[in-house]
Amino acid sequence: MTKLDVLRKQYKKAVKRFEKILAEDKNDIFRDSAIKRFEFTFDLSWKIIKAFLEEKKGIKCLSPKEFFQQAYAQSLIDYDDFWLKMTDWRNEVVHTYGESFADAFYGRLKETLNRFKVLEESISE
């Protein structure tokens, strides 16, 4: 089993768990859990792109933003700047926290889930 195969399984599970928490009625606990699930799923998203690019295309990159730019170039994801914005959001989530920030960020999570699902389809076997 390759690293890509292992990451595919982990990513699929992460997307499913992220979707499940977003289906719950919002309260502080589910909001915070959803934000943490975003962070975990996002980290797996760039790692699976990294593994895919290295194993299938022989392409090496140094940062998540580079991985997303190469993913555009390799048609793994559609071209837009949303993935680059998600990179910034993930960094912001790790370093900034407060009720107003959490509530505002929670409103973006369904759109991130849609992108995670598209990536899941494009990297499936």
Helix then strand then coil, % of the chain, to nearest 5: 75, 0, 25
pTM check: above 0.85:
yes
The residue segments making up the domain with residue 71 are 3-122
Give the pLDDT confidence of 5-63 residue by residue, as tens digits.
Answer: 999 999 999 999 999 999 999 999 999 999 999 999 999 999 999 999 999 999 999 99
CATH of the domain at 20: 1.20.120.330
Which pLDDT score, from 0 to 100, does residue 94 have? Answer: 82
Count the domains in the chain. Answer: 1
The pLDDT confidence band at residue 125, using thresholds 50, 70 and 90, is low
Q: What CA–CA distance (Å, rounded) separates 31 from 76?
A: 29
